[in-house]
Amino acid sequence: MSISKSEFGFFRGYKCWLVTLTNSRGAVARLTNFGGAVVGLEVPDRNGVNADVVLGYDTLQEYVDGNSSHGALVGRYANRIGGAKINVSGREYRLSANDNKVNHLHGGFFGYNKRVWTVDAMDGGDEPSVTFGYVSPDGEENYPGTLKISVKYTLTNSNALVIDYTAVSDADTVINLTNHSYFNLKGAGNGDIKDHVVQINASQYTPVDELLIPTGKLAFVTGTAFDFKTPKPVRQDMDNGKLPNGYDHNFILGDPGVMRTAAEVCEPETGRVMTVKTDKPAIQFYIGIGLDGENGKNGKKYNKYAGLCLESQFSPDTPNKPQFPTCVYKAGQTYRFTTVYEFSVR
């Protein structure tokens, strides 16, 4: 087990670092304080051979220029807010309409994925960890309140990447932080993820309109393309015509604050298994529909469906859907959640 830090480059005069965590089993996580992003995650297959299972880039400039949020921490509100507006404590706030010029997506034009975070702590102990911090000032992207954020990444000896989120605002605000890693358990850039076998422990999902804003209703997954209660290949209900374009949908897990196994992904060829645990109330399943052949790590192209995301979150448009569990945090109230991506073999 070890931890190291090396220079990754500069962004607007701020130094960016690449922090490498290695556990006792030889798994490796590489992280940068630019966007708080997971740059790489090397875990073994059933033969003990490591591969990097997270999509990303080789250089800082590619992270600066890229628009896919590879591996990044996303906020102040991850996912979409309809009409790019929220109401907090009786006051309306107009947010950046950076999604179809109508809605708000992933914190706006200059969200947390494009910010330089501080490296607040590094621990090279038995399970190495790094903690990134960011202070989002009152009025940034027109969100109310100065929000102090701390995100700790820990690489455990069970080959899990644990993400602990903590945030406190000095005024009432909405908070919804997530990590936007794209996973391909065959290895980043090694084809698509359509044959990955997915299980999502959710009996309901949020139907959306043509711009992917939830209607406000909850629908049962049984008998639909969204039924992953029993494991099935990603391609199954794409190939049979139920959902030809694939998935960019939010699944309901339960009450916030209750740790549960949200999903499991298995890649049959390598035997790699990823188990996702979280105490957040929902999870977005996205299969890289918007990837369009950009250059990724080691000269590989990331085409459509090159990776899948399982983003723990509050449901999209929660600020405008009072029937969803609230994401409004009062001044001084602590936002605290944990998401775990654990890797094993089968």
pLDDT in tens, 35-65: 999 999 999 999 999 999 999 999 999 999 9
Q: What is the pLDDT of residue 232?
A: 98
Q: Does residue 1 carry a pLDDT above 90? A: no
Is residue 125 predicted with pLDDT exceeding 90? no
Is the per-residue pLDDT at 202 higher than 90?
A: yes
Phi, psi values for residue 34, rounded to 5°: -80, 110
In Å, how far from its chain's centre is CA 244? 24
Range of the domain at 209: 2-345
Q: What is the CATH number of the domain that holds 331?
A: 2.70.98.10
Predicted local distance difference test score (pLDDT) of residue 104:
98
Phi, psi dihedral angles at 144 (to 5 degrees): -80, 145
Beta carbons within 10 angstroms of residue 232's beta carbon: 14
Give CA–CA dist 188/192, Å, rounded: 9
The answer to whether the beta carbons of residues 127 and 115 sit under 8 Å apart is: no
| In contact, 310 and 285? CB cutoff 8 Å | yes
Q: Which helix (H) or strand (E) holds 157?
A: none
Q: What is the pTM of this model?
A: 0.97
* Residues labelled as active-site residues: 180, 311
SS3 46: coil
Q: Is the pLDDT of residue 309 over 90?
A: yes
Mean pLDDT, all residues of the chain: 98
**Domains held by the chain: number:** 1
Rounded (5°) CA angle 316-274-285? 20
Look at the alpha carbons of 46, 49, 50, 56 in this order and tell me if their dihedral is positive or negative.
negative
